[in-house]
Chain A
């Protein structure tokens, strides 16, 4: 029953959500909406469980006091976690102090990490464009043509660069992308079906 019951629940609820998408029935729509609301509530509880995991991992690091300054970073994380929770619980998320820490520390931190993408693109492009084989050579030439087609200096050098660049993006590239999209879409349906029918149950800890 440890596995059969979750599989049965997954099947019944999954079929219900699929039917609600296709059939115009208020009963199905309401049931589907309720299920989706439950998912939000379960996710909120899951965040509580996940926080316990976070606290365990970092409390262990602090208790050991090892690994250079790791314990200090863990301390800062737990201080932030508990500090923001206490402020949020007692003063609400609209509180000035809560907003200050969120806007002055968290948001710029996220923006900084995102901004690093540019540097990573440069290093990844350097490796990807090394001509190791024919495919990598084609990739390099295609990328150079697309880049030249997208910058004004490219058009100044030769008026056909934008035309060639657009063709590469809109014809061979798009054709390949659509092929992958169709494959991924059908693969997704097959994967979903395997989970719904209980054929794929490794997420329940059944192993491979």
Chain B
């Protein structure tokens, strides 16, 4: 095993174990109570608002790809996008999806098309509403500004990984009067989204959101397992703080293995 990664490996095994346990519990039918996430509950309101105003919905699954560290954020954003696409199809409101990473485009197209198909509105699906803009960060941002200014969406969803363009995208959405729901696990961008959006999914809420919206008990169980994993990590941290303050080097040696 690679030196310095032994502890990480076993911690990963424990975390995976806790999630599998959560899923097993859910499959056994043991009820799992998950707190309501305001941002996710507001999705229907946002799409409904767009329907009433006769304006489109804009959704971006972030600027991250599907093969780097941000991949999980992109997948979570695509899962939430599926839910938004279902609502848009049901409420007959155009959904504009803007894409930065070329490899995300086919996934987004398939997800939206399938949602329209499942809602029996395949004729309302407009392929050119799923738009690749540019794989360059600020060229993409500038193109989104243009779409916002011209098409004035009534709801703006910013989900996934964002960098320096996060605040600009949210501010432009605010300027056109869109109800904004943002979510990211990029911690440096969270304050910007909180400041400029109506609702914000902070860090893990983005990942939990996809499972929460699915309503699938197994996925909900994984959220329970995730929280169990967090409790284990918190206990390890507490034990580490106490042990280190008592002069023990056990935890620092363990982390270095």
- Bind each other: yes
Chain A residues with a Cβ under 8 A of chain B: 18, 21-24, 36, 39, 42-43, 46-47, 49-51, 53-54, 56-57, 60, 67, 70, 73, 106, 109-111, 113-114, 116-117, 120-121, 123-125, 127-128, 177, 180-184, 186-195, 199-200, 202-208
B72 an interface residue at 8 Å Cβ cutoff? yes
Docked complex: B211-244 residues within 8 A CB-CB of A? 211, 213-216, 218-219, 222-223, 225-226, 229-230, 233-234
* Bound CA span A123–B133, Å: 26
Say whether A67 contacts B150, CB under 8 Å.
yes
Say whether A113 contacts B168, CB under 8 Å.
yes
Say whether A22 contacts B8, CB under 8 Å.
yes
Say whether A199 contacts B219, CB under 8 Å.
yes
| A124 touching B171 in the complex, CB below 8 Å, given contacts A43-B65, A199-B216, A202-B210 | yes
Q: Which one of B102, B132, B139, B185 contacts A43 once the chains associate, using CB atoms below 8 Å? A: B102
| A207 touching B164 in the complex, CB below 8 Å, given contacts A114-B138, A199-B219 | no
B23 an interface residue at 8 Å Cβ cutoff? yes
Residues of the B chain whose Cβ atoms lie less than 8 Å from the Cβ of A188:
72-73, 185, 207
* Bound CA span A188–B222, Å: 12
| A24 touching B2 in the complex, CB below 8 Å, given contacts A199-B219, A207-B82 | yes
Question: Nearest-CB distance from A205 to chain B (Å)?
Answer: 3
Given contacts A191-B73, A204-B110, 4 further A-B contacts (CB under 8 A): A36-B67, A120-B171, A187-B207, A200-B219
B124 an interface residue at 8 Å Cβ cutoff? no
Question: Nearest-CB distance from B47 to chain A (Å)?
Answer: 13
Name the prevailing secondary structure of the A interface residues: helix
Say whether B65 contacts A202, CB under 8 Å.
no
Sort A-B residue pairs by CB-CB distance and give the 7 closest, nearest first. A187-B204, A205-B114, A184-B203, A187-B207, A50-B102, A128-B195, A50-B132
Say whether A195 contacts B113, CB under 8 Å.
no
Question: Nearest-CB distance from A94 to chain B (Å)?
Answer: 19
| A116 touching B168 in the complex, CB below 8 Å, given contacts A49-B106, A67-B150, A128-B195 | yes
Chain B residues with a Cβ under 8 A of chain A: 1-2, 5, 8-9, 12, 15-16, 19, 23, 65, 67, 71-73, 75-76, 78-79, 82-83, 86, 99, 101-103, 105-107, 110-111, 113-115, 118, 127-128, 130-133, 135-139, 141-142, 146, 150, 164-165, 167-168, 170-171, 174, 185, 187, 190, 192, 194-196, 202-208, 210-211, 213-216, 218-219, 222-223, 225-226, 229-230, 233-234
Q: Which residue of A lies closest to B151 (CB)?
A: A67
Q: Which residue of A lies closest to B204 (CB)?
A: A187
| A192 touching B72 in the complex, CB below 8 Å, given contacts A43-B103, A180-B187 | yes
Say whether A181 contacts B187, CB under 8 Å.
yes
| A22 touching B171 in the complex, CB below 8 Å, given contacts A49-B105, A57-B131, A195-B72 | no
Q: Which residue of B lies closest to A44 (CB)?
A: B102
Say whether B214 contacts A54, CB under 8 Å.
no
Say whether A208 contacts B214, CB under 8 Å.
yes
| A183 touching B76 in the complex, CB below 8 Å, given contacts A117-B168, A190-B226, A194-B219 | no
Question: Nearest-CB distance from A191 to chain B (Å)?
Answer: 4
* Bound CA span A192–B12, Å: 12
Q: Which one of B130, B133, B203 contacts A187 once the chains associate, using CB atoms below 8 Å? A: B203
27 contacts between A and B (CB under 8 A): A21-B5, A23-B1, A43-B102, A46-B105, A46-B106, A54-B133, A109-B138, A113-B139, A120-B171, A177-B187, A181-B203, A182-B230, A184-B185, A186-B15, A187-B204, A188-B207, A189-B19, A190-B226, A193-B19, A195-B75, A200-B214, A202-B210, A203-B111, A204-B107, A205-B110, A205-B114, A207-B115
Q: Which one of A39, A42, A190, A202 contacts B207 once the chains associate, using CB atoms below 8 Å? A: A190
Q: Which one of A47, A60, A127 contacts B135 once the chains associate, using CB atoms below 8 Å? A: A47
Say whether A203 contacts B79, CB under 8 Å.
yes
